[in-house]
Amino acid sequence: MAITTKATKPKIVALAGGVGGAKLAAGLQAALPPGSLTVIVNTGDDFEHWGLNICPDLDTVLYNLADMHNPEMGWGRRDERWTVLDEVERFGGENWFRIGDRDLALHLRRTEWLRMGLSLTEVIDRLRRMLGIPSTILPMCNEPVRTLVHTEEGDLPFQHYFVRRRCEPALIDLSFVGADSATLSPEVRKALQSADLIVFCPSNPYVSIDPILSVPGLRGMVRQSSAPRIAVSPIVGGQALKGPAAKMMRELGEVSSPLTVVDHLGDVLDGFVLDRADAVLADAVILHALVTGTVMTDLPSKERLAQEVLAFGATLRQSSIPAD
Ligand code: FO1
């Protein structure tokens, strides 16, 4: 089955977290027929702040798929204003985590709906419909799972490590608090069951992808899926394009290389996409490999990479069908 044209309606599932994940998700949405894409999003970064439920990775995907994102920061809204943040600061409130005025409106509504008893899946679906997004966006689970960063300076909740401490404390390990009690939502289960292709977006393997795979049953479903599973490297030329993935690899005693990502996720993958800057490593990838430009600077470059990933997926799908 071809999974590259807009004429058919394939079911593509993307696993995403962070800015790189949201960028490829936007490219996939642009490359596919409306309704073909489901993005399963990391919620390990979520926390409570100013009494509100904050879901940074879900919101980054929402804003990117609605083309409302701030392209400079990668997170938050375009044309943002910061009046409330300044006033909260005036009254002695915390200002290290910057919630803009427009972004605040989404946080107020989400928190209100969650307090009314809606699940996070229902809340995100309401928001994406209101934003006119044709793709399905699913939190990895409805229960709270919180990434706790074990550092040489002690344990830090994720946003305290990431934003407040700017990822400075050296990483020792990570845990996903609450993952043991999380469950696969019917929506995530159905999406994975019916997937024609599973794409691991170029997201940090430790703090964006691992929390998703920590939801009991999810890794097993990906592993047993008959759909090709492809990851796009978040490491280009030894560096993460954004975020602390390369620094984390070094602190964990690994080399900051796409091959480290392959080692880390290899058991759930069939194919791996490397940037041209890392072409010399392609032969060392133990999976099917595609070398192409993976740096996404605007919508055309996101869509072009998405099309290449979809075409790569189609070749893997064909090669897994036994010949008559
Ligand atoms: N990242 C920052 O580096 N500084 C911030 O003040 C900040 C605020 C923020 C507010 C809402 C939101 O949805 C995301 C925000 N982010 C901020 C991004 C976020 O911390 C990270 O991108 C993710 O958690 C990592 O994937």
| pLDDT, mean of residues 92-113 | 98
Asked if residue 21 has its Cβ within 6 Å of ligand 1, the reply is no
* Residue 52 pLDDT exceeds 80: yes
Ligand 1 within 6 A of 76 CB?
yes
Residue 62 host element (H or E) = helix 56-65
Whole-Å CA distances, 39 to 22, 115, 289 = 9, 24, 23
206 CA → ligand 1 middle, Å: 17
Q: Does position 305 have pLDDT exceeding 70, yes or no?
A: yes
Average per-residue pLDDT for the chain:
95
pLDDT at 115 (0 to 100): 98
Say yes or no: CB of residue 46 within 6 Å of ligand 1: no
Ligand 1 center from residue 60 Cα (angstroms): 9
The Å distance, Cα 67 to ligand 1 centre, comes to 17
Ligand 1: nearest atom to the Cα of 243? 25
CA of 223 to the centre of ligand 1 (A): 31
pLDDT, one tens digit per residue, over 18-32 is 999 999 999 999 999
**Residue of 292, 323, 268, 295 whose CA lies nearest to 13:** 268
* 217 vs 9: which has the higher pLDDT: 217
Task: Report whether pLDDT(320) > 60.
Answer: yes
Give the DSSP per-residue string, 242-297.
SSSHHHHHHHTT--SSHHHHHHHHGGG-SEEEEEGGGGGGGGG-SSEEEEE-----
Q: Which of 89-98, 226-235, 310-319 has the lowest mean pLDDT?
A: 310-319
- In the reported structure, the alpha carbon of residue 19 is separated from the centroid of ligand 1 by a whole-number distance in angstroms of 9
The pLDDT, as a whole number, for residue 3 is 55
Residue 324 has pLDDT above 50, yes or no: no
What is the percentage of the chain residues whose pLDDT exceeds 90? 93
How far, CA to CA in Å, does 93 sit from each of 76, 84, 87, 90, 165?
Answer: 20, 11, 9, 7, 18
Q: Decide if pLDDT at 119 tops 60.
A: yes
297 domain-assigned: yes
Q: At residue 272, does pLDDT exceed 50? A: yes
Output the CA 157–ligand 1 centroid distance in Å.
Answer: 13
Specify the amino acid at residue 192: L
For 28, the 3-state DSSP assignment is helix
Is 44 close to ligand 1, i.e. is its CB under 6 Å away? Answer: no
Q: Which residue from 231, 146, 202 is spatially nearest to 19, judged by alpha carbons?
A: 202
CA 75 to ligand 1 center in whole angstroms: 6
Q: Does a structural domain hold residue 59?
A: yes
Q: Is 162 in the pocket of ligand 1 (CB under 6 A)?
A: yes
Number of domains observed in the structure of the chain: 1
Closest atom, ligand 1, to C-alpha of 96: 6
Residue 250 CB partners (closer than 8 Å, separation 6+):
256
Q: Global pTM?
A: 0.96
**Reduced to 3 states, what is the DSSP secondary structure of residue 228?**
coil
Q: Is residue 229 assigned to a domain?
A: yes
DSSP 154-191: EEEEHHIIIIISTT-SPEEEEEEETGGG----HHHHHH
Name residues whose C-beta falls within 8 Å of residue 267's C-beta, 6 or more positions apart in sequence: 223
Is the residue at 1 inside a domain?
Answer: no
Q: How remote is the C-alpha of 150 from its chain's centroid?
A: 21
User: Residue 123 sits in a domain of what CATH number?
Assistant: 3.40.50.10680
Q: Please check whether residue 6 lies inside any domain of the structure.
A: no
Q: Look at residue 90 and tell me whether its pLDDT is greater than 70.
A: yes
* pLDDT surpassing 60 at residue 5: no
Query: What integer pLDDT is reported at residue 322 of this predicted model?
Result: 53
Task: Let me know if residue 4 belongs to a domain.
Answer: no
206 CB under 6 A from ligand 1? Answer: no
Residue 119 lies in a domain: yes
Which pLDDT band holds residue 317 (cuts at 50, 70, 90)? Answer: confident
The response to whether residue 176 sits with its C-beta less than 6 Å from ligand 1 reads no
Give the mutation target among 77, 97, 99 for probing the ligand 1 site: most ligand atoms within 8 A of CB. 97
pLDDT at 290 over 60: yes
Among 31, 270, 238, residue whose Cα is nearest residue 134: 31
304 vs 320: which has the higher pLDDT: 304
Q: Residue 8 has what pLDDT?
A: 67
Distance of CA 241 to the CA centre of its chain: 14
Instruction: Calculate how far, in angstroms, residue 271's C-alpha sits from the geometric centre of ligand 1.
Output: 30
In the reported structure, the alpha carbon of residue 56 is separated from the centroid of ligand 1 by a whole-number distance in angstroms of 6
State how far the Cα of 113 lies from the Cα of 215, in Å rounded to an integer. Answer: 24
pLDDT at res. 321 = 56
Instruction: Look at ligand 1, atom 10, and give the residue with the nearest C-alpha.
Output: 99
In a domain, 103, yes or no: yes
Domain that holds residue 194: 12-320
Report CA torsion sign: 20, 250, 236, 265.
Answer: negative
Decide: 45 in ligand 1 pocket, CB within 6 A.
yes
